[in-house]
């Protein structure tokens, strides 16, 4: 059974926000709800790096664990979905989520939160009809055999979506191609790559790769 | 004029063609695969320091409007562990333990009965206003306790028992009631605390009351004024823990004043611990006020208590009321149960 995952290759992400726009367009989310966000570290400095973040469809999802209504469930593909009919907009999933994925359109008086909305890996959600499903959760591209639109439209293919095995294989190839001898597990031998500019450390790049690679392999 | 125009246009086209040819020659070099070149130009300093900064959430911006989120919400998992591993089971132990202790106490020691037969003479203890305030607060408290407990543990029971549709409606109603009754409870609790502050100021004899265990074991009746040590303890628990519940609840209830996720995580932790404590202690209060003490419930129901009851449980108050009556025989406690009379009857 597939384990669907996103992986964002920070070295390729150019902060174009195409994924954000593609997602918004594919799912026609409510005003103010933006399921994907591009986070930029050290903005404006030479070390600036960007990464696209949405629901990461955790194996041990904190949102699921803390939800007082138990409205979350996991599909056979490892996609974390939720039932908006059961959601009460308490906000606990937002407190627990590591990635800031859950968002709440303001609907009630006194700032009461509406039903939670988050990335569905373009897999829709529980509904009676396709129309209702689209209305509530956005596109169900998975049922059409397609991957999430954010990753499909990523211009640099920084954002990858798919089965954890496949995605991590692609990423591993990139990492090896970039000069790691054995899939980012050991440091690059700088002496054998003399043309590498000396003033930029490569070990830091490997560390970033290690982390992303780890995350993808663990699935 | 026309010839000159055409000539300049031709020059532009020629320059453009030159540029195109140049770029055709340059392009393969720019695109040539060079792993080492790529790693050389790659993100420079994503090092341990960067990740430490990510943990502290200081060095990032994101593309959501008005977002103040960091890349990774580190405290989320901490909050989850505190809530799911400690507060949830801890609360169950606290409430279940309290109930068990009360049941065992009732079975072993039994009701605290009156030592002497009723005198038939009544004393005013709670005015109509006070009783109204008490029962309003009690109703609001129980509503919040029941809905709060449902928010914490309901998912383990009702969804399985009644199915999704019932559960969806039930939990939605639970949240709405909890969120709207909360502020009303806050106001009511503050009013009640203000009204009964004077009665609950600690006195020296309260220490003795606690030393003798409040006379819970039969036979002992330590000195007590209008409010005994136990009642004062309940008052001050409400005045401290209760205010924590109110403050943290309001932070959670109105998420439109710029509270951060961290603020709300902490508010939720305080709210859970404090409110479960209050509920546990309230079980004791309810027990003592009903099944645990003969004649206690009728005081809050009718406003009047028997003199025998007053002598046994609040001897200092009884003495003071009797002294005041002796000094002013015109005052008849049975005729005018209002606040001014209550003040008269409570020199305490």
Cβ atoms of A218 and A3 within 8 Å: the answer is no
Task: Kindly tell me the burial class for residue B23, based on how many C-beta atoms sit within 10 Å of its own C-beta (0-12, 13-18, 19 or more).
Answer: exposed
Q: Give pLDDT, residue A205.
A: 54
Closest by Cα among B295, B298, B346 to B322: B346
pLDDT band for B240, please (50, 70, 90 cuts).
very high
What is the tens place of the pLDDT at every residue in B311-325? 999 989 999 888 888
Does A13 map to a domain? no
* Mean per-residue pLDDT, B153-176: 96
Q: Give pLDDT, residue B31.
A: 46
pLDDT cut 70: percent of chain B above it: 78
Tell me: pLDDT of B217 over 80.
Answer: no
Does A132 map to a domain? no
What is the tens place of the pLDDT at every residue in B3-20? 555 566 666 666 666 566
Does A93 map to a domain? no
- Please tell me if residue A85 touches chain B, with a CB cutoff of 8 Å: yes
Tell me: pLDDT of B347 over 80.
Answer: no
Tell me the three state secondary structure of residue B17: helix
Residue whose token pair is 């200092």: B316
Domain count, chain A: 1
Cβ atoms of B274 and B245 within 8 Å: the answer is yes
Tell me: pLDDT of B191 over 60.
Answer: yes
Beta bridge partners of A162: A5
- For residue A179, give both structure tokens: 């000069």
Q: Choose the most confident range, by mean pLDDT, from A67-71, B41-45, B205-209.
A: A67-71
Question: Which of A31, A40, A41 to mutate: most B Cβ within 10 Å?
Answer: A41
Does A137 map to a domain? no
pLDDT band for B306, please (50, 70, 90 cuts).
very high
Tell me: pLDDT of B335 over 50.
Answer: no
Q: Give pLDDT, residue B327.
A: 80
- Please tell me if residue A37 touches chain B, with a CB cutoff of 8 Å: yes
Q: What is the DSSP string of A118-165?
A: ---TTB--S-SSHHHHHHHH--B-GGGT---HHHHT-TTS-EEEEEHH
Average of per-residue pLDDT values in chain B: 85
Q: Give pLDDT, residue B242.
A: 97
pLDDT band for B192, please (50, 70, 90 cuts).
very high
Surface of A (58-77) touching B: CB under 8 A: 62, 65-70
- Please tell me if residue A17 touches chain B, with a CB cutoff of 8 Å: yes
What is the tens place of the pLDDT at every residue in B119-141? 988 989 999 999 999 999 999 99
How many separate helices (H) and strands (E) can be counted in chain A?
Answer: 7, 6
The residue among B72 and B192 whose pLDDT is bigger is: B192
Cβ atoms of A155 and A59 within 8 Å: the answer is no
Q: Between β-strands A159-163 and A4-8, what pairing exists: parallel, antiparallel or unpaired?
A: antiparallel
To the nearest whole Å, the CA of B96 is away from the closest chain A CA by: 20
- For residue B133, give both structure tokens: 């305030």
How many angstroms from the chain centroid is the CA of residue A200?
28
DSSP state of B84: I
Cβ atoms of A50 and A40 within 8 Å: the answer is yes
Query: Which structural domain, as residue segments, surrounds residue A201?
Result: 163-218
Q: Give pLDDT, residue A96.
A: 97
Cα dihedral B151, B156, B161, B164 sign? positive
- Please give the Cα distance from B292 to B278 (Å, whole number): 19
Q: Give pLDDT, residue A6.
A: 96
Beta bridge partners of B339: none
Asked casually if ipTM beats, i.e. exceeds, 0.95, the reply is no
Surface of B (37-66) touching A: CB under 8 A: 37-48, 50-51, 53-54, 59-65
Which domains are present in chain B? 118-345 (1.20.950.20)
Q: Give pLDDT, residue B212.
A: 84
Residue contact A110–B253, C-beta within 8 A:
yes
Q: Give pLDDT, residue B7.
A: 60
- Please give the Cα distance from B17 to B20 (Å, whole number): 5
At a CB cut-off of 8 Å and minimum separation 6, what does A87 contact? A69, A71, A115, A116
- Please give the Cα distance from B160 to A100 (Å, whole number): 30
The residue among B345 and B152 whose pLDDT is bigger is: B152
Closest by Cα among A4, A34, A7 to A138: A34
Question: Alpha-carbon dihedral of residues B113, B115, B116, B120, nearest 10 degrees?
Answer: -30
Tell me the three state secondary structure of residue B12: helix
Does A187 map to a domain? yes
- Please tell me if residue B268 touches chain A, with a CB cutoff of 8 Å: yes
Of A83, A85, A205, the CB nearest to B39: A205
Q: Give pLDDT, residue A19.
A: 97
Q: Give pLDDT, residue B179.
A: 96
Tell me: pLDDT of B91 over 60.
Answer: yes
- Please give the Cα distance from B278 to B288 (Å, whole number): 15
Residue ranges of chain A with per-residue pLDDT less than 70: 179-219
Q: Give pLDDT, residue A178.
A: 72
Q: Choose the most confident range, by mean pLDDT, from A86-95, B37-46, B220-229, B289-298.
A: A86-95
- Please give the Cα distance from B120 to A32 (Å, whole number): 69
Q: What is the pTM of this model?
A: 0.82
Surface of B (287-346) touching A: CB under 8 A: none
* Mean per-residue pLDDT, B171-176: 96
Does A213 map to a domain? yes
Q: Give pLDDT, residue B138.
A: 98
Does A153 map to a domain? no
Residue whose token pair is 């009303």: B184
* Mean per-residue pLDDT, B110-115: 87
At a CB cut-off of 8 Å and minimum separation 6, what does B342 contact? B124, B126, B127, B130
Distances (CA, A) of A22 to A28, A40, A151, B242: 10, 19, 9, 49
Cβ atoms of A35 and A55 within 8 Å: the answer is yes
Q: Give pLDDT, residue B41.
A: 53
The residue among A10 and B162 whose pLDDT is bigger is: B162
Does A194 map to a domain? yes
Tell me the three state secondary structure of residue A189: coil
């Amino acid at each position: 059974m597939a384990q669907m995952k996103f992986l964002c290759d920070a070295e390729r992400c150019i902060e174009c926000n195409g994924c954000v726009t593609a997602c918004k367009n594919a799912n026609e989310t409510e005003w103010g709800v933006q399921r994907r966000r591009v986070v930029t570290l050290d903005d404006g400095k030479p070390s600036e790096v960007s990464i696209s973040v949405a629901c990461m469809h955790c194996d041990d999802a904190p949102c699921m664990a803390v939800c007082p209504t138990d409205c979350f469930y996991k599909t056979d593909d490892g996609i974390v979905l939720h039932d908006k009919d059961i959601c009460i907009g308490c906000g606990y999933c937002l407190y627990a989520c590591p990635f800031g994925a859950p968002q709440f359109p303001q609907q009630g008086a006194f700032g009461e939160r509406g039903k939670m909305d988050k990335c569905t890996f373009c897999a829709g959600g529980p509904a009676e009809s396709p129309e209702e499903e689209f209305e509530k959760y956005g596109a169900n591209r998975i049922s059409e055999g397609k991957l999430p639109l954010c990753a499909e439209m990523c211009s640099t293919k920084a954002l990858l979506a798919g089965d954890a095995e496949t995605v991590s294989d692609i990423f591993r190839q990139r990492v090896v191609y970039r000069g790691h001898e054995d899939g980012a597990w050991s440091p690059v031998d700088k002496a054998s790559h003399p043309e590498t500019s000396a003033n930029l450390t490569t070990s830091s790049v490997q560390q970033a790769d290690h982390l992303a690679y780890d995350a993808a392999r663990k699935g | 004029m026309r010839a000159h125009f055409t000539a300049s246009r031709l020059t532009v086209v020629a320059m453009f063609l030159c540029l195109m040819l140049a770029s055709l020659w340059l392009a393969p070099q720019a695109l040539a695969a060079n792993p080492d070149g790529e790693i050389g130009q790659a993100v420079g300093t994503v090092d341990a320091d960067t990740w430490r900064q990510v943990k502290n959430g200081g060095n990032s911006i994101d593309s959501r409007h008005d977002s103040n989120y960091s890349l990774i919400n580190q405290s989320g998992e901490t909050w989850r562990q505190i809530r799911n591993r400690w507060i949830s089971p801890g609360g169950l132990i606290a409430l279940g333990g309290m109930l068990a202790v009360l049941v065992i106490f009732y079975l072993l020691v039994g009701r605290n009965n009156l030592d002497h037969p009723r005198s038939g003479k009544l004393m005013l203890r709670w005015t109509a206003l006070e009783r109204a305030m008490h029962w309003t607060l009690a109703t609001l408290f129980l509503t919040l306790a029941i809905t709060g407990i449902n928010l914490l543990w309901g998912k383990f029971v009702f969804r399985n028992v009644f199915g999704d549709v019932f559960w969806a409606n039930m939990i939605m109603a639970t949240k709405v009631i909890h969120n709207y009754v909360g502020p009303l409870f806050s106001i009511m609790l503050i009013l009640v605390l203000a009204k009964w502050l004077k009665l609950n100021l600690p006195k020296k004899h309260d220490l003795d009351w606690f030393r003798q265990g409040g006379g819970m074991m039969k036979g002992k009746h330590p000195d007590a004024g209008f409010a005994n040590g136990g009642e004062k303890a309940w008052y001050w628990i409400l005045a401290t823990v209760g205010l924590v519940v109110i403050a943290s609840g309001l932070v959670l209830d109105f998420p439109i004043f710029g509270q951060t996720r961290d603020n709300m995580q902490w508010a939720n932790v305080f709210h859970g611990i404090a409110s479960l404590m209050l509920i546990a202690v309230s079980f004791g209060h309810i027990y003592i006020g009903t099944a645990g003490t003969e004649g206690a419930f009728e005081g809050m129901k009718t406003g009047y208590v028997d003199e025998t009851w007053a002598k046994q449980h609040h001897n200092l108050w009884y003495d003071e009321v009797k002294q005041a009556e002796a000094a002013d025989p015109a005052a008849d406690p049975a005729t005018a149960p209002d606040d001014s009379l209550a003040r008269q009857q409570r020199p305490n």
